[in-house]
Structure 1
Amino acid sequence: MLKQKKIDLQYSKEVVELLGTLGFDPNFRARPVKGVIQQMVENEVALALLREEIMKEESVLIDALKAKLIIRKLENGSSAEVLVANH
């Protein structure tokens, strides 16, 4: 869906580590990671699209700060407005 709207989605090393940590379960290993990604990333990006906070041909960065997911708009390669800061 993002490719159709020409939205560039980038992510940081910190958010990969956060999602891996939150989604790891010793009994199920990494299987729960998919659910964490859906809940924390896909749902929040979809809501931002519906609220028109992310528009066609924009770039966004999925990042983590102090164990929280952050979605930021990118302008000219640098971080700009924070759209979502959850969990």
Structure 2
Amino acid sequence: MSRVCELTGKGPMVGNNVSHANNKTKRRFMPNLNDVTLQSEALGRGIKLRISASALRSVDHRGGLDKFLAKAKDAELSERALKVKKEIMKAATAAA
């Protein structure tokens, strides 16, 4: 399982551990990923995603999963998230 956020594409970063003696060794900064179930209003069901804590705050800020995916760039989304986005867009156009 890759350590990449399904909504924002945020992944591991590389940096250094720096000791008191200023010795530097490589390390990885992992994103804070959580398994969450987000409710889709258009689909009327929950969608399980593995997203970062910052992405979860962004979803709440934008007003839910449907509105977040409507504004999200397709290049940043995972294949599962793109599939959900297409389902939501199809359901939204059918309802309108």
TM class by shorter-chain length? under 0.3
The two structures have a TM-score, normalised by structure 2, of 0.23
The two structures have a TM-score, normalised by structure 1, of 0.24
* Greater gyration radius: 2
